[in-house]
C-alpha cells in the first residue's frame, strides 16, 4: 500500500478490512469495535487477497477458523443475538461450495432479523480464465452465478465489480445491519481478481466512526389512536417479542405493564423479557406455550403486540385469539406493526411505551389480572410436576428442570430444532433478563452447538465467568457437531446436553398425530437402516477434545451437570430420553400443517378431519 496526501492505495480486500477495523459503537457508555471479528474457511477464492489483508488485523478483528461454513454462519448469528444486534461478525468463504454452505445460515439470520456480514469469493470479473474451478455456468447469462442465490436470503446484496464501489457499498451494508426495522444479513460478493485490484481511496473513508442505532418514537396520531383503543379494553394483554430486548426496552415494557397492570405473555424470541417471578409474567404463548398464556389469549379483547413478528407458533396459526379481538401493533418495522389489520404504531418501544402509558393513564380491571395470575399459578404447578425427576422415563422436561435448578442466573441457554425448543420454552423458568436463546425463527438443526459457540464468544467478552448451555437432540448433533472442536480449539467452553431419543422423535410424533404410522424418523422405524447400531456420543465428543460422560437416568444428571460446571473446557453430557412418553403434553394451541385431503388410510383421513375441525377458529387477515 502507498499513501499520498489525502488518498491511500489499497487493494479492495485491504480497504474492506481497514474500513471494518475503524467502525465502533457505544454500548452502555463503553466503546466497542462494531465488528467483533470473523469466521473463516480459506480457499482459493478468498485466501490470496482477503486472507492477506486479514492477517494484518488479527489482533483487532480476530478470525476464528471454522470447520463448516454453515456452522460459521450460525456462530455469527449466535454472537449477534447475544449482543442484541448491536455488534456483528463477518463470515468469509471461498467461491463455490464454501459460499454455498452459507446459504442456510444466511436464511437463519434473515428469518431472525440478525446482522451477519458475508464476504465471499466470486468468479473472475474479467472472465479471462473461465470456466474456472467451482464455477456454475449459465450459458445464456454468464453474469449469473451461485452468489446470486443469496439475494433471497439477504437484506443487503452486492457484487463488487470495481474497487471504488466499496466506498458506497460498505456503509450501506453496515446501515442495513444496524437498522432496527430492516436488520438482517448483508452479502458482498468479491470476484477473485477484483479482490486484489487497487484504488486510491480517500483517507477519510477510513476515519474512525462511532455508530448510533436509531431510536424513534411513533407518530403522535398513531399513539392517540392506540390510547383510544387501549382505554376501552376490559381484558387487555401484552405480547412481548424479541424486539423488546433488541430495542433495549425491557425496562420500559416492565414499567408500562406495572403501571397499567396488564398481563404479559412472551413469544419464543421474547423469552426472558421478564423473569419467571414477575407477577405480570403469565407465561409463553402459542403452539409451544403455556395453558396460562393461551387461556387469557382466547379471552383478550385488546392485544398490544410489542416487538413481535407474530409468527404462527405465537398465534396458533391465528386460532389463539378471539375473532373480534383487536390488535395494536407496536413495532419499529411497518410490515410487522400492520399484520392482521392491527392498529399500527410504528416506533421504537423504548421511546413509545412511556409516551403511550402517560397518554393512556389506564389501569387494567383488577379481576382480569387476578384471573391471569391464577392461570399462571396453575401452569407453574404443572411445570413443577412435569420436570420432576422420576415421574416417567427420562424426558426433555426433566433435563430442563435439573439444569434450571443448578445454573447461574446469568448463564445462557441455547436450543433450536426438534422437540427441545418447545420443551425449553414451556418449562424454563427465566432467572434473569436476556438469558434464553431459542432459535425458532428458522428452527435450524445445527444451530444448537455452532450458535452456542458464537454466543459463548460474545459471553466471554462481557461475562466470561458464566456458562453457555446448549440443549441438543441426537438428530441435530449428528447433523452438525464439529464446533465442539471449535470451542475446544478456541477455549470457549460450552456445556452441551445431548438428549438422545433415537432419531427425529418430534417429527415422528407429528407423523403419528396426523394419523400416519411411524416411518423414517426414528432409527427403529427406518426400513433402509438394516444395521441399527447406536452412536457413542460420549466417545465422539471426547474425540473432538471435549470432556464427556453418559448418564443412564435423570437422577444422575444433577451431579453430572455440577461436574460440567466445574470443568474448564467444553463438557458434553449424554442421556437417552423416551421418544414417546417424554413430552410436555399441555400448553399447546392448534397449528396449521398440510394434511392429505384424499387418502386410502383411515387413520390419516380421520386425523385430517379432526385437524380441519379447528380451522373455523382461524382469524383471516393480512
3-state secondary structure 3-69: EECCEEEEEHHHHHHHHHHCEEEEECCEEEECEEEEEECCCCCCCCCHHHHHHCCCCCCCEEECCCH
Q: Is residue 293 part of a domain?
A: yes
CATH number at residue 444: 3.40.50.970
Decide if 451 contacts 420 (C-beta within 8 A): no
Residue 507 has pLDDT above 70, yes or no: yes
Residue 5's pLDDT band (cuts 50, 70, 90): confident
CATH number at residue 254: 3.40.50.1220
Q: Is residue 583 part of a domain?
A: no
The C-alpha cell of 329 is what?
401493533
| pTM for this model (two decimals) | 0.97
257 & 319 share domain: yes
Report the domain count for the chain: 4
359 & 495 share domain: no
Decide if 70 contacts 102 (C-beta within 8 A): yes
pLDDT for 468? 99
Residue 451 has pLDDT above 70, yes or no: yes
150 & 10 share domain: yes
Eight-state DSSP code of residue 523: G
109 & 258 share domain: no
Residue 2 has pLDDT above 70, yes or no: no
| Rounded Cα gap, residues 523 and 505, in angstroms | 9
Q: Is residue 323 part of a domain?
A: yes
Average pLDDT, integer, range 81-107:
97
**Which of 150, 185, 211 is a domain's end point?**
211
Q: Is residue 584 part of a domain?
A: no
Q: Is residue 181 part of a domain?
A: yes
Torsion, CA 489, CA 184, CA 341, CA 373, rounded to 10: 30
**Residue bearing cell 433450536:** 416
| Rounded Cα gap, residues 230 and 232, in angstroms | 5
40 & 159 share domain: yes
Residue 1's pLDDT band (cuts 50, 70, 90): low
Residue 103's pLDDT band (cuts 50, 70, 90): very high
| Rounded Cα gap, residues 329 and 442, in angstroms | 22
| Rounded Cα gap, residues 416 and 439, in angstroms | 5
pLDDT for 622? 58
169 & 316 share domain: no
402 & 495 share domain: yes
| Average pLDDT of every residue of the chain | 96
Kindly list the distances between the CA atom of residue 189 and the CA atoms of 10, 161, 199, 471, in Å, as whole numbers in the listed order.
18, 9, 18, 35
Q: What is the pLDDT of residues 268-278, one digit of tens each?
A: 999 999 999 99
Residue 247 has pLDDT above 70, yes or no: yes
Lowest mean pLDDT among 121-130, 215-224, 356-365: 121-130
Q: Of all residues in the chain, what percent carry a pLDDT higher than 70?
A: 99
Decide if 349 contacts 306 (C-beta within 8 A): yes
Query: Which residue spans within 393-477 are E strands per DSSP?
Result: 412-415, 436-438, 468-473
439 & 300 share domain: no
For 377: left if phi > 0, alpha if psi spans -120 to 50, otherwise beta; the answer is alpha
Q: Of all residues in the chain, what percent carry a pLDDT higher than 90?
A: 94
181 & 234 share domain: no
559 & 616 share domain: no
For 341: left if phi > 0, alpha if psi spans -120 to 50, otherwise beta; the answer is left
Q: Is residue 529 part of a domain?
A: yes
Q: Which residues pair with 575 in a beta bridge?
A: 499, 551
| Rounded Cα gap, residues 581 and 447, in angstroms | 26
**Which of 188, 211, 234 is a domain's end point?**
211
| Rounded Cα gap, residues 139 and 251, in angstroms | 57
329 & 239 share domain: yes
Decide if 10 contacts 199 (C-beta within 8 A): yes
Decide if 442 contacts 454 (C-beta within 8 A): no
Q: Is residue 561 part of a domain?
A: yes
Q: What is the pLDDT of residues 518-551, one digit of tens each?
A: 999 999 999 999 999 999 999 999 999 999 999 9
Domain range for 192 is 2-211
| Rounded Cα gap, residues 364 and 234, in angstroms | 7
Residue 129's pLDDT band (cuts 50, 70, 90): confident
Residue 3's pLDDT band (cuts 50, 70, 90): low
227 & 199 share domain: no
Amino acid at each position: 500500500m502507498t499513501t499520498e496526501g489525502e488518498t491511500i492505495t489499497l487493494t479492495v480486500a485491504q480497504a474492506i478490512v481497514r474500513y471494518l477495523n475503524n467502525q465502533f459503537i457505544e454500548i452502555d457508555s463503553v466503546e466497542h469495535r462494531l465488528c467483533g471479528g470473523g469466521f473463516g474457511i480459506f480457499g482459493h477464492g478468498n485466501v490470496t487477497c482477503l486472507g492477506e489483508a486479514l492477517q494484518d488485523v488479527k489482533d483487532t478483528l480476530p478470525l476464528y477458523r471454522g470447520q463448516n461454513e454453515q456452522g460459521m454462519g450460525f456462530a455469527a448469528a449466535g454472537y449477534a443475538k447475544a449482543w442484541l444486534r448491536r455488534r456483528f461478525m463477518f463470515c468469509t468463504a471461498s467461491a463455490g461450495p464454501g459460499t454455498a454452505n452459507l446459504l442456510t445460515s444466511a436464511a437463519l439470520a434473515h428469518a431472525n432479523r440478525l446482522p451477519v456480514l458475508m464476504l465471499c469469493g466470486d468468479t473472475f470479473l474479467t472472465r479471462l480464465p473461465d470456466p474456472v474451478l467451482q464455477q456454475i455456468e449459465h450459458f445464456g447469462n454468464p453474469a449469473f452465478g451461485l452468489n446470486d442465490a443469496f439475494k433471497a436470503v439477504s437484506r443487503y446484496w452486492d457484487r463488487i465489480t470495481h474497487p471504488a464501489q466499496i466506498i458506497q457499498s460498505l456503509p450501506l451494508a453496515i446501515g442495513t445491519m444496524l437498522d432496527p426495522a430492516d436488520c438482517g444479513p448483508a452479502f458482498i460478493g468479491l470476484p477473485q481478481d477484483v479482490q486484489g485490484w487497487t484504488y486510491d481511496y480517500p483517507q477519510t473513508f477510513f476515519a474512525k466512526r462511532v455508530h448510533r442505532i436509531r431510536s424513534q418514537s411513533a407518530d403522535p396520531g398513531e399513539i392517540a389512536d392506540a390510547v383510544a383503543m387501549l382505554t376501552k379494553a376490559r381484558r387487555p394483554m401484552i405480547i412481548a417479542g424479541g424486539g423488546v430486548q433488541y430495542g433495549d426496552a425491557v425496562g420500559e415494557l416492565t414499567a408500562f405493564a406495572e403501571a397499567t397492570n396488564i398481563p404479559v405473555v412472551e413469544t419464543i424470541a421474547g423469552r426472558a423479557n421478564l423473569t419467571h417471578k414477575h407477577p405480570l409474567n403469565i407465561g409463553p404463548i402459542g403452539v409451544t406455550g403455556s395453558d396460562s398464556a393461551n387461556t387469557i389469549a382466547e379471552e383478550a379483547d385488546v392485544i398490544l403486540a410489542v416487538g413481535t413478528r407474530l409468527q404462527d407458533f405465537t398465534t396458533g396459526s391465528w386460532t389463539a385469539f378471539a375473532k373480534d379481538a383487536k390488535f395494536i401493533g407496536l413495532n419499529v418495522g411497518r410490515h410487522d406493526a400492520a399484520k392482521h389489520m392491527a392498529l399500527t404504531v410504528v416506533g421504537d418501544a423504548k421511546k413509545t411505551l412511556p409516551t403511550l402509558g402517560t397518554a393512556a393513564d389506564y389501569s387494567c380491571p383488577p379481576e382480569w389480572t387476578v384471573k391471569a395470575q391464577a392461570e399462571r399459578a396453575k401452569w407453574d404447578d404443572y411445570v413443577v410436576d412435569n420436570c420432576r425427576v422420576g415421574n416417567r422415563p427420562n424426558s426433555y422436561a426433566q433435563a430442563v428442570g435439573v439444569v434450571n435448578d443448578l445454573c447461574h442466573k446469568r448463564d445462557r441457554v441455547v436450543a433450536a430444532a426438534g422437540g427441545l425448543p418447545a420443551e425449553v420454552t414451556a418449562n424454563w423458568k427465566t432467572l434473569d433478563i436476556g438469558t434464553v436463546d431459542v432459535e425458532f425463527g428458522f428452527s435450524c438443526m445445527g444451530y444448537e452447538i455452532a450458535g452456542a459457540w458464537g454466543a459463548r464468544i460474545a459471553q466471554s467478552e462481557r461475562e466470561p465467568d458464566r456458562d453457555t448451555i446448549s440443549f441438543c437432540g441426537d438428530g441435530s448433533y449428528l447433523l452438525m457437531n464439529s464446533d465442539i472442536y471449535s470451542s475446544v480449539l478456541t477455549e470457549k467452553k460450552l456445556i452441551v446436553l445431548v438428549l438422545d431419543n433415537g432419531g427425529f422423535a418430534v417429527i415422528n410424533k407429528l407423523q403419528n398425530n396426523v394419523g400416519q404410522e411411524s416411518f423414517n424418523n426414528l432409527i427403529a422405524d427406518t426400513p433402509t437402516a438394516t444395521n441399527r447400531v447406536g452412536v457413542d456420543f460420549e466417545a465422539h465428543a471426547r474425540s473432538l477434545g471435549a470432556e464427556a460422560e453418559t448418564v443412564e437416568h435423570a437422577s444422575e444428571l444433577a451431579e453430572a451437570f455440577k461436574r460440567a460446571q466445574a470443568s474448564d473446557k467444553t463438557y458434553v453430557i449424554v442421556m437417552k430420553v423416551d421418544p414417546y412418553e417424554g413430552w410436555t403434553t399441555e400448553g399447546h394451541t392448534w397449528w396449521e400443517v398440510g394434511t392429505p385431503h384424499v387418502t386410502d388410510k383411515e387413520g390419516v383421513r380421520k386425523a385430517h378431519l379432526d385437524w380441519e375441525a379447528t380451522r373455523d377458529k382461524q382469524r383471516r387477515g393480512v
